[in-house]
Homo-oligomer: A and B are copies of this chain.
């Protein structure tokens, strides 16, 4: 999927919502545990209830890997379910990988060929040869960690550099933007750092940004939308726990839908305000 196709979907659904499938075996309704693959069953019902309100889903791979082969199978079934029933959806492997050429190639093959993900999140610490191998796949994307929403972001991302006086995360964005283009690279920018979005938009006005941290982590959708939206929307705002665990009874999917709809309605307003719909 390229940026224009993603923007078209955003306009059609009047939504730039990404739903994080951080599906924790311990947290899903007990009633699902009779299924052979309860995690997939949970995801399927969440997706069915929300796919007209969201443009992207983002399985967090740690949650699947911690379940071994059954988790791997649940992930595969989730991606296949999305591809079969909702082919317009953008699917992100939240893997935060980052390794050198040979190994990155393996990961790219795992995510883009074995699985049919559209995008994978990548960590920048190892530099250009940890990112480039992901960029050779047509219509597939790298989503590079730039500024994360956790307290530990202060440790290194906010270190100022001697040569240019910019912060490390700014250097990461400025340098890596030259490795790809606006059709194969996005950036993770935490919603808890909305004040930085305007600065980041000056460096990369045209790239899509994936924004976690709205909802359970406390970021403001309004602030993020005002500061980060560009002429093709340019935002995917992620919510995970606040949607998928909105209710823990057997009505969890309806509760998730209601929560997603609240967010989608708010997003429709910001898209209208920006004259994008």
Contacts and interface: CB of A to CB of B under 8 A. Distances in A.
Contact of A110 (B60, B66, B73): B66
A160 B161 contact: yes
Nearest to A97: B96
Interface in A117-176: 123-131, 145, 148-157, 159-163, 165, 168, 171-172, 175
Given A69-B69, A124-B125, A156-B171, A150 B101 contact: yes
Q: What size tier do the contact residues of chain A reach?
A: 35 or more
Contact of A62 (B62, B72, B103, B148): B103
A103 B175 CA distance: 28
Nearest to A132: B152
Contacts of A245: none
A238 to B, nearest CB: 13
A145 B99 CA distance: 10
Contact of A126 (B65, B106, B109, B153): B153
B65 A103 contact: no
B156 A159 contact: no
Contact of A107 (B66, B154, B172): B66
Contacts of A196: none
A159 B159 CA distance: 10
A100 B160 contact: no
A168 to B, nearest CB: 7
A165 B160 CA distance: 10
B65 A107 contact: yes
Given A68-B72, A69-B69, A101-B150, A157 B106 contact: no
Q: Which of A65, A131, A172 lies at the interface centre, i.e. has the most chain B CB atoms within 10 A of its CB?
A: A65
Contacts of A65: 106-107, 110
B66 A114 contact: yes
A74 to B, nearest CB: 11
Contacts of A103: 22, 60, 62-63
Interface string A49-81: 000000000001011011111001100100000
Contacts of A66: 106-107, 109-110, 114
Interface of A: 22, 24, 60, 62-63, 65-69, 72-73, 76, 96-104, 106-107, 109-110, 114, 123-131, 145, 148-157, 159-163, 165, 168, 171-172, 175
Closest 5 CB pairs between A and B? Answer: A127-B152, A127-B155, A62-B106, A66-B110, A129-B152
Given A155-B175, A160-B161, A162-B165, 15 more contacts: A60-B99, A60-B103, A62-B106, A67-B114, A96-B126, A98-B98, A98-B123, A101-B150, A124-B156, A125-B145, A126-B152, A127-B153, A128-B152, A156-B171, A160-B162
